[in-house]
Structure 1
Amino acid sequence: MLALAATCALAVLAGAGISVRAEQAIPEQQVKAAYILNFTRYANWPAPALIEPHAPLVVCMVGPGAADMARQLQHRAAGSHPLELRIVSRVEETEPCHAVYLALPERSRQSAWLTRMREQAILTIGDSANFLADGGMINMMLVDGSIRFEVNLTAAKHSGVSLNPRMLALAERVVGGDSK
């Protein structure tokens, strides 16, 4: 039942593409936080990353607005895993993270962070034009006033993180997998 509810929530967010225009009641950061929550619900980490069924799922936030985004996710859970939110400023601080949301305005910094995390089982989420090309896994983007997302399946497979096919079906674009 919970999985069905989560599927419906993701479908509503992705399929309907919640609008983030100024006249709408839902701010862009709130919509992105909802996506991040659902991305963590539709990802699976290799052992030993999340062996304990009720262990916290550590979500790290990087960049401007990270604290506001983290507040949107407080007291939430990905399945049986309560989210533990951390604001980090150095790539070395991402070692205990299961997911990292990168909002770095400089592409060189973004690329350096993604390169350092590439060999780890970390779900990387961002919102820049070059995020997938730099090795990120999920990129959120504004399309016609709605938040959509695209996936780099090659990067996910390389890290050992697997993404639910239902989520992939909702992606605007999947790189390294079957095209829509």
Structure 2
Amino acid sequence: MAQVAFYGSRLLVLLAGWQIAAANGFSENQIKAAYLYNFAKFVEWPAEALPSDANLKLCVVGADALDGALHDFEGRKAGEHVMTVETHGFSDPSLTGCHMVFIGNSEAGRFVSLLKALANSPVLTLSDISDFAEKGGGIGLRFLDNKVVFEVNLESINNAGLRLPGQLLNIASYVYGR
């Protein structure tokens, strides 16, 4: 229990730190990318989907998603895993081999079909499309009142076999399916 409290408080500090960073000249896209990186540290995947010695694969779908800021995390450690970042096309069948899929705004008109294709796969879906979490995406990022906030679709997370720490759910601006 103490370990969970430690990780939860560490998570709050990390995410709160990115709110402060907005005032220090980081772009909205850089802050959103940092949120994704921090989510990668705290989300738990089933052991068979992400063995302890495996790289964590972040796949990016969409033209210029977050202005390429996600590629800055290539090779960085997220927990015990090294992140790899790959760009994929919308209909790429290999997306089910990703651990995280970020869907850029250019895919706003067709992201729901991508979510259906990834349903029940151990993949954390993320986006900054405005109604992403509401329509079944795992975590949706929004820029609201001059800060980045996030929404969680708990049903989507559970169907993917993923686990989010309670502290993460507590600081979400909205949790669907609670």
The aligned counterpart of 1:87 is 87
Segment of structure 1 superposing worse, 63-72 or 142-151: 63-72
Cα distance in 1 between the residues matched to 2:173 and 2:152: 8
The aligned counterpart of 1:40 is 40
The CA deviation string for residues 106-140 of structure 1, in whole angstroms up to 9 with x for no partner, is 43311111110112110001111220132101000
The aligned counterpart of 1:58 is 57
The aligned counterpart of 2:153 is 152
CA drift at 1:57? 0.5
The CA deviation string for residues 125-180 of structure 1, in whole angstroms up to 9 with x for no partner, is 11112201321010000111110101000110011111111111111111111xxx
CA drift at 1:95? 2.0
| Aligned-residue CA RMSD (Å) | 2.5
The aligned counterpart of 1:128 is 129
The aligned counterpart of 1:97 is 98
Q: What percentage of aligned pairs have identical amino acids? A: 29
The aligned counterpart of 2:177 is 176
| Secondary structure of 2:157's aligned partner | helix
The aligned counterpart of 1:113 is 114
Q: How does 1:131-142 map to 2 (within 5 A)?
A: 131-142=132-143
Q: Aligned residues, how many?
A: 174
| Secondary structure of 2:131's aligned partner | coil
The aligned counterpart of 2:49 is 49
**Structure 1 unpaired stretches of 5+:** none
| Secondary structure of 2:106's aligned partner | coil
Q: Which has the higher helix share?
A: 2
Cα distance in 2 between the residues matched to 1:55 and 1:72: 19
Cα distance in 1 between the residues matched to 2:44 and 2:172: 17
| Partner amino acid, structure 2, of 1:59 | L
| Partner amino acid, structure 1, of 2:101 | V
Segment of structure 1 superposing worse, 150-159 or 57-66: 57-66
* Distance change in 2, residues 1:31/1:74 (3 Å): same
CA drift at 1:5? 8.4
Q: TM-score scaled by structure 1? A: 0.85
Cα distance in 2 between the residues matched to 1:167 and 1:15: 12
Q: Is the 8 A contact 2:32 2:141 kept in 1?
A: yes
| Partner amino acid, structure 1, of 2:117 | R
Q: Is the 8 A contact 2:149 2:172 kept in 1?
A: yes
Q: Is the 8 A contact 1:18 1:146 kept in 2?
A: yes
Q: Is the 8 A contact 1:44 1:163 kept in 2?
A: yes
CA drift at 1:64? 2.3
Q: TM-score scaled by structure 2? A: 0.85
| Partner amino acid, structure 2, of 1:43 | V
